[in-house]
Amino acid sequence: MLQTGDNDANGSPTPTPGRKRRRHRLLIFLAVLALLAGSGLVAGGYYFDSVPTPTDLKLPESTTVYYADGRTPLAKLGAENRTIVPYDQMNDSAKQAIVAAEDRTFWKNKGVDFKGVLRAAWANVTGGQRQGASTLTQQYARVAADLRGVTYSRKLREAVIAWKLDDKYSKEEILGFYLNTVPFGRGAYGIEAAAQTFFGKTVRRDAPPQQQLTQAEAMVLCAMVKQPEADPTDPEGSPGYDPRRNATAKQNSIDRWNYIRDGMVKLGYLTSEQAANLAYPDTVKEIDPDAGRSGLDRPSGLVVNHVLSELRQTEPFRGKPDEVIRDGGYKIVTTIDKRVQDAAEAAADIRRDTAPEAVRGQPKNWQAALVAVEPGTGRVLGYYGGDKSSGADYAGWYLDENGQARGFGQHPPGSSFKVYDLAAAVGDKISVKQRFDSPDTKEFPESGRTKGSPAGPIRNAEHAPCQPNCALWEATVASLNVTYFELTEKLGTAKVIDMAKRAGVESMWETVKGNPQPQRVDLRDKPAEEVAGRFSTEVGIGQYGISVQDHANGMATFAAGGKRAEAHFVRSVTKGDEKVWSEQLKQTDLGLDQEAINQLDWTLRRVKAAKLDNGWDSAGKTGTWQAGQSTTQNVHTWMVGWTGALASAVWLGTTDGKPLKTTGGSYEVYGSTGPGPIWRQFMEQATAALKLDPEEYRFQDPAFPDDAPETTAPPTTPPVTSSPTPSARPTPSPTPSRPSPTPSDRPTSRPTVSPSLSPLPSLSPSKTRRPG
């Protein structure tokens, strides 16, 4: 039988053209109905569904921490590497490349690829492969929804959001949203982060031309949007489009780049001749496995801990979680001067070849810390407390997000604390030429330091030519403990503590009977007379721990002529054009007149370890504190001091609280031989880097109105002239390995409880906040 056309080869009826169209429409209707069944009606979704629009989104944006110049990044914070650049501030490179790569009808379509929606519906009905072909607007809608923690898995829901966006926003706004949001790989979200990560460039049109992302480079980046990261189940076979990942990825990138180039020609962004002359850029940066650490794995990373701690106390951020700062897209400019920071790390990181020879190659438990403060402003210009933000901080302490104190914080300052005794003395009109009874050994019954007491009399570590009748300045240079113990008794413990507090020492650690760890005492909240009872006369010779940061700020106060400023790490916080926070510079006067300051400078510039070889006037003091009751082993050594332009404090000790012992087996480590070389190298390099004129920072000579004759302070108790008894410790004799012209800086008094290196979780819970 001949076929009539009404049946197919199998005998089934053959559809007519009209019937084909009706079946096609029916299938589409069924597909859309099936899609809608799981998503709700279009009208309901469009008018009543709560969908996130760009104004609703709180996009995580990296906060960048800068050095004091406001241009050099110190660290980048945040869960994602993202820097938002407004659309009108971007050059055209990425705008054109992304349209050619992802949606060539972008400028004409209504934000939705309806054919793509139907294809997805058909695939759902027939069980076919899931379909893509989203517009840029749909892609942004999908990413934005994911950022809000909502998953719109169905194509229609995505289309509804995109449709709504296209109604509300201009094409330029939507393209800006997209370019600032999508992932490009290597943790870079948004085109600016990608430009920096892959090429070390920027999309900002106001940047110098050589720093701007080029057309060819933008095409490489926009190729990566298709698959930003390698497939974790098959990273070699499906590596994505990062040309540095492997050969397959590079070929993928080149193929995609050619596809984009063809699209650029079709869209009129490039002429055929320009496209022919455009070369694939082979300048993508190597993958850096440490890039995600954002600068926190360096010594300067510790600064970030202090920055965050400081900002948590300010009005804009008080009581808010750290994510507000980290993901807020802020620009934080610190007080840290990169030139000073580099000099600090070069000198105080004793593992580097740049450290002074005296401290290089020493045992692993040796540790140094250094803080530099600008006189008159309190700006911390340099900070070295350890190797990275997650490690121990030996230079200070800070409060973490939970209000817990972190850092190792305190070290007994030894004779370096005598600077505050001396300042209190000259402030009380006690001339540095006044003479004191200064024998090698002396009893002080009022303070309980007698031959019959557990600690015994006060002893000097070495002799001085002036003994037994020394001027205060001579006793300072020779670091005579007997003289300074008597001076502290004469002034009163409260007056010495008050001078240290007003100069910049905000915390001091007391020894508590029965408690193995020293406990922090906040000196700011109570009058010195009230807290003085928690400390003995030994405070005058440095028994009680203080932080390197506080000590540096105290030195900065004297460098500024007795004008105290709060030590701080943050200069400003901005977001776009909005100023969020600015440093609050304020000075308080110690009440020291110019003559007192001159006598302080005049005396401390005679300390040999404080002399700089670069022509600057400098003043300083060494300090050492012994290990336990030993007279020959030390665990804390110091050098502190200032010029008129810069003040700093250096501590050198051990990480485990054991005595300092050189690789050669010697225990002869003192303030002058350990931290002294670190301090001098740092001060010389930092002042040179700052390019300041030393002539503008000269010290003035004192008038010494009581110059003739020098007065003698009456002895408070007769000196111990008999030979040492078993309860008295012998005075150690100098050894050839110690520079004989440099006087001892090691007190010989025993602490009531031997201070040891302790982490700050032992801080007392009473008011431990630092001001912002």
Is the pLDDT confidence value at 733 over 50?
A: no
Q: Name which of 125-129, 552-556, 586-590 the model is least confident about.
A: 125-129
Residue 293: band (very low, low, confident or very high) from pLDDT cuts 50, 70, 90: low
Q: Strand, helix or coil at 383?
A: strand
- Per-residue pLDDT at 336: 98
Average pLDDT, integer, range 178-199 = 92
How far apart CA 242 and CA 252 sit, in angstroms, is 8
Residue 511: band (very low, low, confident or very high) from pLDDT cuts 50, 70, 90: confident
Residue 460 is which amino acid?
A: N
- Per-residue pLDDT at 572: 98
Distances (CA, A) of 594 to 563, 587, 657: 11, 17, 41
Is the pLDDT confidence value at 473 over 50?
A: yes
Q: What percentage of residues in the chain have a pLDDT greater than 90?
A: 65
pLDDT tens digit sequence for 95-145: 999 999 999 999 999 888 776 666 655 555 555 544 445 899 988 888 877
The better pLDDT of the pair 202, 750 is held by 202
- Per-residue pLDDT at 38: 43
Residue 331: band (very low, low, confident or very high) from pLDDT cuts 50, 70, 90: very high
Q: Name which of 123-132, 446-455, 617-626, 694-703 the model is least confident about.
A: 123-132
- Per-residue pLDDT at 327: 84
- Per-residue pLDDT at 16: 58
Q: What is the dihedral of CA 319, 322, 328, 334, to 10 degrees?
A: 100
Q: Are 428 and 405 in contact (CB under 8 A)?
A: no
- Per-residue pLDDT at 119: 63
Query: Which are the contacts of 521, defined by CB distance < 8 A and separation ≥ 6?
Result: 507, 508, 509, 510, 531, 534, 764
Residue 46: band (very low, low, confident or very high) from pLDDT cuts 50, 70, 90: very low
pLDDT tens digit sequence for 701-712: 999 865 544 555
Residue 623: band (very low, low, confident or very high) from pLDDT cuts 50, 70, 90: very high
Is the pLDDT confidence value at 64 over 60?
A: yes
- Per-residue pLDDT at 677: 98
pLDDT tens digit sequence for 625-682: 988 877 789 999 999 999 999 999 999 999 999 999 999 999 999 999 999 999 999 9
Residue 684: band (very low, low, confident or very high) from pLDDT cuts 50, 70, 90: very high
Query: Which are the contacts of 99, defined by CB distance < 8 A and separation ≥ 6?
Result: 106, 107, 136, 175, 263, 267
DSSP letter at 657 equals: S
How far apart CA 244 and CA 236 sit, in angstroms, is 12
Query: What are the structure tokens assigned to 481, written together?
Result: 């403990």
Question: What is the residue whose two structure tokens read 């403060």?
Answer: 373
- In our burial notation (b when 16+ CB lie closer than 10 A, e otherwise), range 115-140 reads ebbbbbbbebbeeeeebeebbbbbbb
Is the pLDDT confidence value at 748 over 50?
A: no
Is the pLDDT confidence value at 172 over 70?
A: yes
Is the alpha carbon torsion for 587, 589, 595, 598 positive or negative?
negative
- Per-residue pLDDT at 3: 34
Q: What backbone torsions phi and psi does residue 511 show, to the nearest 5 degrees? A: -95, 125
DSSP letter at 534 equals: G
- Per-residue pLDDT at 288: 76
**H helix runs in 312-337, sequence order:** 323-326
pLDDT tens digit sequence for 384-403: 999 988 889 999 999 988 88
How far apart CA 566 and CA 770 sit, in angstroms, is 10
Question: What is the residue whose two structure tokens read 């869209």?
Answer: 267
The better pLDDT of the pair 216, 576 is held by 216
Question: What is the residue whose two structure tokens read 């070069």?
Answer: 346
Nearest residue to 571 via CA among 81, 74, 61:
74
Average pLDDT, integer, range 526-555 = 95
Average pLDDT, integer, range 516-523 = 90
- Per-residue pLDDT at 18: 59
Residue 445: band (very low, low, confident or very high) from pLDDT cuts 50, 70, 90: very high
How far apart CA 544 and CA 325 sit, in angstroms, is 36
Query: What are the structure tokens assigned to 434, written together?
Result: 């006044």
Query: What are the structure tokens assigned to 525, written together?
Result: 């909240």
Is the pLDDT confidence value at 307 over 90?
A: yes
Residue 350: band (very low, low, confident or very high) from pLDDT cuts 50, 70, 90: very high
Q: Are 493 and 471 in contact (CB under 8 A)?
A: no
Query: Which are the contacts of 18, defined by CB distance < 8 A and separation ≥ 6?
Result: none
Is the pLDDT confidence value at 765 over 50?
A: no
- Per-residue pLDDT at 146: 65
How far apart CA 98 and CA 225 sit, in angstroms, is 9
- Per-residue pLDDT at 225: 95
Q: What percentage of residues in the chain have a pLDDT greater than 70?
A: 79
Query: Which are the contacts of 177, defined by CB distance < 8 A and separation ≥ 6?
Result: 54, 140, 144, 169
DSSP letter at 100 equals: H
Average pLDDT over all residues of the chain? 83
Is the pLDDT confidence value at 408 over 90?
A: no
How far apart CA 448 and CA 294 sit, in angstroms, is 55
Is the pLDDT confidence value at 451 over 70?
A: yes
Q: Are 710 and 471 in contact (CB under 8 A)?
A: yes
Residue 275: band (very low, low, confident or very high) from pLDDT cuts 50, 70, 90: very high
